[in-house]
Chains A and B, each alone.
Chain A
Amino acid sequence: METNLLSEKRTVVVKIQTDLDHHSASLIRKTVDAKIKGTNAINIIFDFSAVDFMDSSGIGMLMGRYKIANILGGKVIVFGVGKQVKRIIDMAGIDKIINICDSYDAALLLV
């Protein structure tokens, strides 16, 4: 997982490079929350372009980050979503609270 802080946009960019399951979700959660706490960031952009697999643990992780960003007045944005991940996101209906973008550039326009 790579994280990058865009301080002028108060945004943390997180590139996930593993399957997103219960195991990796706890690690992502810890890393992202520490970044949010230790910086001025209020928005989180997740790069899913290297994620081939996500289960419902990924939904829990995204909803948890949404709650945090929402309290801070920020957003959670996801881009690079593949077919399998899209299906899980659609089933959960979380595209109503989390912004799904086609590209990094499109995601940046939202913060």
Chain B
Amino acid sequence: MENIMKLEFANKSSNENLARLVAAAFVTPLDPTCEELSEIKTAISEAVTNAIIHGYEDSLGMVRLDGRIYGNIVEFTVSDKGCGIADVAKAMEPLYTGKPDHERSGLGFTIMESFMDKIEVKSTLGIGTVVKMKKVIKNDR
């Protein structure tokens, strides 16, 4: 099966729920298990939260969620046009947080990596960040 979607929303924390729900609804036709569904929701939540918290600091901006389904594979891209990440490898280290005084656990990328099959992060300072994630829906109940 093939399908595509795109959703664009303001960098408000209340939209984290919106992004999770849309991602879950989009993947539903592939009949994922409850576990696969909650893995996708968690990974999307982490990526969108990063875009909201780190992407734009305190200024207004838009976050975009693109979805693509081909065969039994779902691909999501979360992008922002915010400040970008200076050192992507460092940002992806477990427990690293760019905001130590904000009670962030530093586990966002670790969760995305372990819940999805593939993750790619491209970031340019002053231009923005794109996080692309892919998951094969095995549906092996």
Contacts and interface: CB of A to CB of B under 8 A. Distances in A.
Contacts of B35: 83
B104 A60 contact: yes
A95 B13 CA distance: 27
A55 B110 contact: no
A56 B105 contact: yes
Contacts of A60: 102-105
Contacts of A63: 103, 105
B107 A23 contact: no
A63 B101 CA distance: 12
Interface string A63-95: 110000000000000000001100010011000
A17 to B, nearest CB: 14
B139 interface: no
Contacts of A64: 103
Interface residues of B, number: 24
A31 B104 CA distance: 18
Nearest to B115: A87
A53 interface: yes
A56 B13 contact: no
A61 B103 contact: yes
B84 interface: no
Contacts of A55: 42, 45-46, 49, 108, 111
A92 B105 contact: yes
Given A64-B103, A88-B42, A56 B108 contact: yes
A60 B13 CA distance: 16
A83 B108 CA distance: 19
Nearest to A27: B13
Contacts of B59: none
Contact of A53 (B38, B49, B102, B111): B38
A72 to B, nearest CB: 17
Given A56-B105, A64-B103, A91-B107, 17 more contacts: A21-B17, A22-B52, A23-B17, A26-B13, A55-B42, A55-B45, A55-B46, A55-B49, A55-B111, A56-B49, A56-B106, A56-B107, A57-B105, A83-B38, A91-B110, A91-B114, A92-B107
Top 4 A-B residue pairs of the complex, sorted by shortest distance between their CB atoms: A23-B13, A59-B105, A64-B103, A56-B107
